[in-house]
Structure 1
Amino acid sequence: MRTIALVVSTLTTGLAAGLFYAYSMSVMPGLAKVGDRTFVEAMNSINKAILNGWFALAFGGALVFTAVAALLHLGAGHRTALLWIVAALVLYVGQLVVTFAVNVPLNDQLATVNLDTGDLAAARERFEATWVSWNVVRTVLVTGAFGSLIGALVKS
């Protein structure tokens, strides 16, 4: 069970890292080149579409499976792997703090903008730079968590 939990934790965390990386390397640079209306409309559409079971499995599963892996590695014979797993858990929780303190509230604010009567340029200005910067932070955090879990796999 320890190995299965650790592998599933690594897989789901890797999927979350890949998602944030994709935003950093393609989605946001691509949207940076479009007009304000397209930007607001596209981000709102993406933010609705991402709320699905597959996303929940990776995003929430990474936390749950990493916590389970940590619990299953308690004991003298698994201390080295446990240290890597705990590091991953701390980094992943850091990413969650950023996501729920910064990125989600920005998404929610952007969702309130009326595409026909709202000031789309001002809405984008309040959103884009801050969201992109903090997405880089959470990308680094979750990638660090992924790397830590790889370390745990090597040591287990």
Structure 2
Amino acid sequence: MLVAATVGNGLLAGVFFAFSCGVVPGLRRVDDLSYVTVFRAINGSIVNRLFLLVFLGAPIATGAATALHLGAARQGTLACLVAGLVLGLFSFAVTAFVNVPLNNQLDAAPIGDAQQRKEARDRFERRWNRWNHVRTAASTAALLLLAIA
């Protein structure tokens, strides 16, 4: 269970890291229409069975691994698991309550003219990027703690 938790959290940290280091800097260089079009396409493609399996499975596996270590003789392991679980759940919450709603707002935004595209991007980009960096840090820290455990 701990291996599944570690791999799942690692995959999520990698996705968020890839956005922070590659996707976001690349999209920063394009015009508003390209930005909104590409981000909408990403939003539509990332919600798939495999991603959802990892996104939902990682916190479940981490919770199960933590529960299996309750009362264990190695309290250091339990402390790392609990901290990893908290950070993983925090990253999950950021995604569910900040990034996904922002994705939905961008998907629903009118973009018929240049001003609407600029406004849609302006309402989305800075906030989404900031919270993506937060969830990247949290999920990476969770991965580290689970690896230590």
Q: What is residue 76 of structure 2 aligned with on the other side?
A: 80
Matches of 2:133 and 2:99, distance apart in 1: 11
Query: What letter corresponds to residue 24 of structure 1 in structure 2?
Result: S
Matches of 1:78 and 1:59, distance apart in 2: 28
Instruction: Give matches, 1:22-61, under 5 Å.
Output: 22-61=18-57
Query: What letter corresponds to residue 31 of structure 1 in structure 2?
Result: L
Task: Report the CA distance between 1:54 and its aligned residue.
Answer: 1.2
Matches of 1:78 and 1:115, distance apart in 2: 56
Q: What is residue 146 of structure 1 aligned with on the other side?
A: 143
Matches of 1:43 and 1:15, distance apart in 2: 20
Root-mean-square deviation over aligned CA pairs: 1.2
Instruction: Give TM-score scaled by structure 2 length.
Output: 0.94
Task: Report the CA distance between 1:91 and its aligned residue.
Answer: 0.4
- SS, match of residue 76 in structure 1: coil
Task: Report the CA distance between 1:76 and its aligned residue.
Answer: 3.3
Matches of 1:75 and 1:101, distance apart in 2: 33
Q: Are the aligned partners of 1:12 and 1:57 in contact in 2 as well (CA < 8 Å)?
A: no
Instruction: Give TM-score scaled by structure 1 length.
Output: 0.90
Q: What is residue 132 of structure 1 aligned with on the other side?
A: 129
Q: Are the aligned partners of 1:91 and 1:145 in contact in 2 as well (CA < 8 Å)?
A: yes
Between the two proteins, the alignment pairs up a number of residues equal to: 148
The equivalent position to 1:114 in structure 2, one of 107, 110, 128, is 110
Q: Does 1:9 align with 2:22?
A: no
Query: What letter corresponds to residue 102 of structure 2 in structure 1?
Result: L
Matches of 1:57 and 1:15, distance apart in 2: 11
Q: Are the aligned partners of 1:92 and 1:145 in contact in 2 as well (CA < 8 Å)?
A: yes
Task: Report the CA distance between 1:116 and its aligned residue.
Answer: 2.8
The equivalent position to 2:65 in structure 1, one of 46, 66, 69, is 69
Matches of 1:19 and 1:26, distance apart in 2: 10
Matches of 2:17 and 2:5, distance apart in 1: 18
